A and B are shown apart, each in its own frame.
Chain A
Amino acid sequence: MLFEQVNNKVVRAHVTAQSPVLARRGAMLGYSGAVAFRPVRGQGGGVGGFVGAAMSGESNPMMASEGDGAVLYGYKGLYVTVIDLDGSYPLTCEADRLLAHDANLQTSVQFVGSGGVRAAVRGAMTGQGLFTTLVHGRGPVALLSHGGAFPLQVTGQWPVGVDPQAYVGHTGNLSLDLKAKVGFRDLTGRGSGEAFTLQVTGQGTVYVQASEQKF
């Protein structure tokens, strides 16, 4: 399975009988060859997989691209970052960041509220719900970001913080904890504007976008 980065906003996927692609609905820009598209409800468990998406709130309309051909994927001019998963760790991201992925990868929905109240607050804060998506297996994933995503290596040597609005996703053995800093200045409106920070600890890579805008 191959995702070819055509430019910073578009990827080309070579779809074959062995490797269909799951993508966000509306993200197909064009295609050549004999490719058929089929709406898939929710995500999880590969092609035809179904997780109670409506129940989890992490419902992102997806579709399967099957057959033999080359498909261009992109979405509303947003930047696209391709991450090749080697199977050692899953990728964690919000479902609406997923542009496309190898359908052989498994996705599952995780309730981040289980990490405690703080983690739950994080979902509420970023407006991304209390659920997050895990992508497991070996293969390519294309993620959407506003302005492009850059990887930040976390080694444990330094404390690392990320603005919750700018967080795109992460891989590795990391834990994220929302740190609230509400002081007098923040309440009076003369604060730093950085009242909440995701504190990242462990070892891995966190992806950050060049914007605090959600799309």
Chain B
Amino acid sequence: MAGPSVFTAQSLPDGDNVNPYVYSIGLAGEWFISKGAMLAYYGNIRFEAVSRYASVRDFVAAQFASPVYVQDWVVAEGQGKLVIGDRGFDLNAYDLDDGNLTIKASNLLAFDTRLALKQSIVPGFVVLIGTGRFIASSNGPVIFVEPPFRADPEALLGWADCPSPAVHHDAAWMAASFAGALQGALGRTSGEEKQYDFTGTGTVLMQSSEIARADPAVLRLIEDQTRLLTDAQAGSLGQQLMARVQQR
């Protein structure tokens, strides 16, 4: 009878999926790994915070050009097989050849140190640039679509080779919402009211929508932006946030 698949250090895939939800990295050198992604490993592997790795090999740590996300990542260094997973989500490997791809930060699990990471202009997304491989998760298999396409921000996984999206507000939807006095029923904005509008040529990556995982980097991003506020504005924001917490 069919039991579970069994692997040894040798038979475990070298840079391939173990099953749709698990990926095995054949480590010979360094990779950037998202904290918490590791399931298991064979071999002699050390993990070091990216910031601390700067003292080991500065040019490797410098590839990770995002102070907002750096705390959530480590460098895995050594020889062996490193097995990663993310909440049972589907995992895919993407190969970039002198290219760039923008991906939702909370879905990026690992990338080869030849690639550079930068924050995207779109909040919650990062851009990978160069030649190399990265591994990302998706809720259900990734759906690839071509522009012109409008995506619910919550279901958007990333995009490649096309211009950054513009925000599209559905005027008819909003008018209908007001007319029907449905604001209360809607509670909050839904994907039908506001979408990211992709134009030009390229590829858009979609997944099923999800209840967003608390992304610590989002808090850091917003904290950083509050510096743009005047003292009076900051006070007003503070009161609004207090009211929100007390309502719960």
Direct contact of A and B (CB under 8 A): yes
Are B140 and A10 closer than 8 Å at their CB atoms?
yes
Separation of A41 and B180 alpha carbons in the complex (Å): 8
Are A72 and B206 closer than 8 Å at their CB atoms?
yes
Mask, B192-209, CB within 8 Å of A = 1, is 100100000000101011
Stretch of B11-19, B59-67, B93-101, B149-157 contacting A (4+ beta carbons < 8 Å): B149-157
B229 on the interface (CB 8 Å rule)? no
* Min distance, Cβ A24 to any Cβ of chain B, angstroms: 10
Q: Max chain A CB contacts within 10 Å: which of B146, B186, B209?
A: B209
Complex interface: chain A residues within 8 A of B140 (CB): 7-10, 74, 77
Complex interface: chain A residues within 8 A of B243 (CB): none
Given the known interface contacts A9-B139, A39-B177, the answer about A77 and B210 at a Cβ–Cβ threshold of 8 Å is yes
Are B191 and A29 closer than 8 Å at their CB atoms?
yes
Complex interface: chain B residues within 8 A of A32 (CB): 145-146, 148-150
Mask, B163-191, CB within 8 Å of A = 1, is 00000001011001100101001100011
Are B209 and A29 closer than 8 Å at their CB atoms?
yes
- On chain B, the number of residues with a Cβ less than 8 Å from chain A's Cβ atoms is 32
Residue of A nearest to B87 (CB): A77
Separation of A76 and B151 alpha carbons in the complex (Å): 15
* Min distance, Cβ B242 to any Cβ of chain A, angstroms: 28
Separation of A39 and B175 alpha carbons in the complex (Å): 10
Complex interface: chain B residues within 8 A of A9 (CB): 139-140, 208
Are A7 and B180 closer than 8 Å at their CB atoms?
no
Residue of A nearest to B188 (CB): A26
Are B192 and A30 closer than 8 Å at their CB atoms?
no
Are B195 and A30 closer than 8 Å at their CB atoms?
yes
A146 on the interface (CB 8 Å rule)? no
Complex interface: chain B residues within 8 A of A26 (CB): 190-192, 209
B54 on the interface (CB 8 Å rule)? no
Given the known interface contacts A39-B176, A39-B186, the answer about A63 and B155 at a Cβ–Cβ threshold of 8 Å is no
Residue of A nearest to B191 (CB): A28
A181 on the interface (CB 8 Å rule)? no
Complex interface: chain B residues within 8 A of A41 (CB): 180, 182, 185
B211 on the interface (CB 8 Å rule)? yes
Complex interface: chain B residues within 8 A of A78 (CB): 208
Are A30 and B182 closer than 8 Å at their CB atoms?
no
Complex interface: chain A residues within 8 A of B208 (CB): 9-10, 29, 74-78
Separation of A31 and B197 alpha carbons in the complex (Å): 10
Taking CB atoms and an 8 Å cut-off, the chain B residues in 13-70 that contact chain A are none
Complex interface: chain A residues within 8 A of B143 (CB): 6-7, 10, 72
Are B152 and A30 closer than 8 Å at their CB atoms?
yes
Q: Which residues of A contact B (CB under 8 A)?
A: 6-10, 25-32, 36-39, 41, 61, 63, 72, 74-78
Q: 22 interchain pairs (CB within 8 A)?
A: A7-B141, A10-B206, A26-B191, A28-B152, A28-B191, A29-B206, A29-B209, A30-B151, A30-B152, A32-B146, A32-B148, A38-B172, A39-B177, A39-B186, A39-B192, A61-B182, A61-B186, A72-B206, A75-B208, A75-B209, A77-B140, A77-B209
Lowest 4 CB-CB distances: which A-B pairs, in order?
Answer: A9-B140, A29-B155, A74-B208, A30-B151
